[in-house]
A and B are shown apart, each in its own frame.
With several copies, the nearest count.
Chain A
Amino acid sequence: LTNIMERKNEARNPFFRVVELTDDTTDPEIWGKNFPLQFDGYKKTVDQTRTRFGGSEASHKTPTDADPRSIVAQSRLEEDPRLKTMWDGYAFAVDFREERGHAFMLDDQVFTERQNVVKQPGSCINCHASAYATYKKLGNGDIALGFQELNKLPYFEARKEITHPVACIDCHDSQTMALRITRPAFMTGIKAYKASQGVENYDVNRDATRQEMRSFVCGQCHVEYYFKGADKQLTYPWEKGLKVENILAYYDEVKHKDWTHKQTGAEVLKAQHPEFELFNQGIHSRAGVACADCHMPYKREGAMKISDHHVRSPLLNISQSCQTCHSTSESELKFRAESIQERTFNMRNLAMNALVQLIEDLKVLKEAGATDLELAPARDFQRKAQFYLDFIEAENSMGFHAPAEAVRILGESIDFTRQGQLALRETKSFQTGQLR
């Protein structure tokens, strides 16, 4: 199968310079003049189609001045109100929707109600817009510097600095069209990760193979993150590794919390879209398969094969996305993917029910006047359990990217939750009948 990939990667295609592209050409429309086929695909990311667990559903809303969008993706909070309990006290409990195509990334970020709950920093922009030119501008040519400056700005200040959602220039070198990493947060993050694996001063744009780049460009955004310090520097917590336990250990060490849980007072964490991290624990990544192989499969356009820039759920395009490597029927491949997701979904529900119970127990005892000292162990278990559960809940493949690892993480989440409940039952307050 590696052979396939090698061969596929050889697929070269002529490229007629209709216009000159420079390192400052941000507008995809201009790039589109040289690469109309890729541009057509790119524009298709406005499509909204739902799959069993992915894609997205177009739900209509009446536009307001505050939020002019007439179509949004379905609300995950309405689909599963338990999420509100898990995130109580955090912006996500107010508005959290299914993600949709790249074309929407900018608007969805600007208009999410999460913006009204807290003042968001410019750091948010890094993954929701074509920020490359902005880095250069704010840093006078030094993107690392520009990145720092962008992070420091308040969100709506930063918003003024940018115009497009992720665009050609964020993934491509304008002269060679080669893939290129443009996100300083990823450069730093992957370097720290490699160091933890014994690879010193790793320079991703210098050292990564082409096949790796086909995943790394996505890993610039589809990852867990937090904002470090007062300057809100966007940081990927990979110093100790990419596994959920490594990341939690990192957060514990730097004493990071995303918020304090409203009902329990626990200092908790929110995991966000760790696609890259989970994917790295799966068989596909071990086998050298890249994000682009499934989400941007090669498709034939007349005489040439190009990468389908309509980035979307592979289950909407199984023949191109899967059958190049798996010689079995589309229905069978769909069945395999969905039974993996089904299994993950069931475990996720077990874990979430358990967590809701722990939160309830903590709440009751807290209101009954249990001391922080008494509640401390259970609160720490909540922090752990919640992060593990959210790591899979927030990951967007419903376990497909690494089936056994996903279920493993959910299993451990349940263990943490239950131990939290047990810890509470050792407390004086419980003995004195507070939970009944």
Chain B
Amino acid sequence: MRIKIIKLSVVGIAMGLAIGSAMGVGVYTFVYAKGYSYMTNDPQNCANCHIMNEQYDGWQKSSHKNVATCNDCHTPHDLLGKYATKASNGFWHSYYFTTNSFHEPIQLTERSREITEQSCRYCHQGMVDAISVSLQKEHTEEVSCIRCHRSVGHLH
């Protein structure tokens, strides 16, 4: 936990500089509205925000309930990236949550989409090696997993 906090505050400060006034609100919720839930892996904590209930309910009905948590799919699988992302998600979602200024229905940001795509491969590399890339072709493009498997994590 200790280490996490440190990592977090580093990111936090970096953001503070970048976002200035937004910071106040963000940190407020981050602490009091359990934004720090992002630092844990228990999906229940994500559902601390009613806004996440839909995904939480969906997740419990999904094929991945027993095999993948929210963070398995929504945070990178390398340690630094993981907590950086958690901090940033935690910070921003706290911010949005409080200011209520976000697009509904909630959609993945481009960055999280990439993260999620990679997370599929993290677990399913073996299964999808053959199809993943048309090999060494110039400007290689990955197949998008979620184009077809949109609902594996939580039914859509």
Minimum C-beta distance from B112 to chain A (A): 11
- Residue with the highest number of chain B CB atoms closer than 10 Å, among A1, A9, A299, A325: A1
Check A304 against B127 for contact (C-beta < 8 Å): yes
Chain B hits for A331, CB < 8 A: none
Is the CB of A230 closer than 8 A to any CB of chain B?
no
How far is it, in angstroms, between the C-alpha of A307 and the C-alpha of B130 when the chains are bound?
9
Is the CB of B2 closer than 8 A to any CB of chain A?
no
Chain B hits for A246, CB < 8 A: none
Name the interface size band of chain B: 35 or more
How far is it, in angstroms, between the C-alpha of A293 and the C-alpha of B57 when the chains are bound?
20
Minimum C-beta distance from A371 to chain B (A): 60
Is the CB of A281 closer than 8 A to any CB of chain B?
no
Is the CB of B128 closer than 8 A to any CB of chain A?
yes
1/0 per position for B125-156, CB-CB distance to A under 8 A? 01111111111110011110001111100011
Is the CB of A319 closer than 8 A to any CB of chain B?
yes
Check A306 against B130 for contact (C-beta < 8 Å): yes
Minimum C-beta distance from A237 to chain B (A): 30
Check B107 against A327 for contact (C-beta < 8 Å): yes
Is the CB of A160 closer than 8 A to any CB of chain B?
no
A14 partner, pick from B54, B57, B132, B143, beta carbons under 8 A: B132
Minimum C-beta distance from A180 to chain B (A): 9
Chain B hits for A254, CB < 8 A: none
Check A305 against B127 for contact (C-beta < 8 Å): yes
Interface of A, secondary structure class, is: mixed
Is the CB of A6 closer than 8 A to any CB of chain B?
yes
- Residue with the highest number of chain B CB atoms closer than 10 Å, among A173, A298, A305, A307: A305
Chain B hits for A255, CB < 8 A: none
Chain B hits for A7, CB < 8 A: 54, 57-58, 155
How far is it, in angstroms, between the C-alpha of A211 and the C-alpha of B104 when the chains are bound?
23
**A303-B50 contact given A12-B132, A14-B132, A178-B137, CB 8 Å threshold:** yes
Check B130 against A210 for contact (C-beta < 8 Å): no
Check B105 against A319 for contact (C-beta < 8 Å): yes
Is the CB of A130 closer than 8 A to any CB of chain B?
no
Is the CB of B114 closer than 8 A to any CB of chain A?
yes
A3 partner, pick from B58, B121, B137, beta carbons under 8 A: B58
Chain B stretch 32-63: residues in CB contact (< 8 A) with chain A: 50, 54, 57-58, 61
Minimum C-beta distance from A179 to chain B (A): 6
Minimum C-beta distance from B77 to chain A (A): 11
Is the CB of A288 closer than 8 A to any CB of chain B?
yes
**A12-B156 contact given A3-B58, A323-B105, CB 8 Å threshold:** no
How far is it, in angstroms, between the C-alpha of A15 and the C-alpha of B134 when the chains are bound?
11
Q: Which residue of B lies closest to A2 (CB)?
A: B114
Is the CB of A272 closer than 8 A to any CB of chain B?
no
How far is it, in angstroms, between the C-alpha of A53 and the C-alpha of B115 when the chains are bound?
40
How far is it, in angstroms, between the C-alpha of A299 and the C-alpha of B118 when the chains are bound?
21
A304 partner, pick from B121, B129, B148, beta carbons under 8 A: B129
A179 partner, pick from B107, B111, B127, B134, beta carbons under 8 A: B134
Check A9 against B61 for contact (C-beta < 8 Å): no
**A324-B134 contact given A1-B156, A210-B141, A300-B104, CB 8 Å threshold:** no
How far is it, in angstroms, between the C-alpha of A327 and the C-alpha of B151 when the chains are bound?
9
How far is it, in angstroms, between the C-alpha of A303 and the C-alpha of B141 when the chains are bound?
23
Minimum C-beta distance from A11 to chain B (A): 9
How far is it, in angstroms, between the C-alpha of A3 and the C-alpha of B58 when the chains are bound?
8
Is the CB of A432 closer than 8 A to any CB of chain B?
no
Minimum C-beta distance from B78 to chain A (A): 9
Check A288 against B147 for contact (C-beta < 8 Å): yes
Check A209 against B129 for contact (C-beta < 8 Å): no
Is the CB of A177 closer than 8 A to any CB of chain B?
yes
How far is it, in angstroms, between the C-alpha of A300 and the C-alpha of B128 when the chains are bound?
10
How far is it, in angstroms, between the C-alpha of A90 and the C-alpha of B103 when the chains are bound?
48
Q: Which residue of B lies closest to A307 (CB)?
A: B131
Check A320 against B104 for contact (C-beta < 8 Å): yes
Chain A hits for B126, CB < 8 A: 303-304
Check A3 against B61 for contact (C-beta < 8 Å): yes
Is the CB of A118 closer than 8 A to any CB of chain B?
no
Chain B hits for A175, CB < 8 A: 136
Q: Which residue of B lies closest to A176 (CB)?
A: B135
Known: A9-B132, A176-B136. 16 other contacts (CB 8 A): A1-B114, A3-B156, A4-B156, A5-B140, A5-B142, A7-B57, A7-B155, A10-B57, A10-B136, A12-B129, A178-B137, A211-B141, A304-B129, A305-B127, A323-B107, A325-B150
Q: List 27 A-B contacts (CB under 8 A).
A: A1-B114, A1-B118, A3-B61, A5-B140, A7-B58, A8-B121, A9-B132, A10-B57, A10-B136, A12-B133, A14-B135, A173-B137, A176-B134, A176-B136, A178-B134, A299-B104, A303-B50, A304-B129, A304-B130, A305-B130, A305-B131, A306-B131, A319-B105, A320-B104, A324-B149, A325-B148, A325-B150
Contact residues of A with B, CB < 8 Å?
1, 3-10, 12, 14-15, 173, 175-179, 209-211, 288, 293, 298-300, 303-307, 319-320, 323-325, 327
Contact residues of B with A, CB < 8 Å?
50, 54, 57-58, 61, 103-105, 107, 111, 114-115, 118, 121, 126-137, 140-143, 147-151, 155-156
> When A and B form their complex, which 10 residue pairs have the shortest distance between CB atoms, in order from nearest?
A178-B137, A178-B134, A3-B155, A210-B141, A14-B129, A176-B135, A324-B148, A1-B114, A176-B136, A176-B137
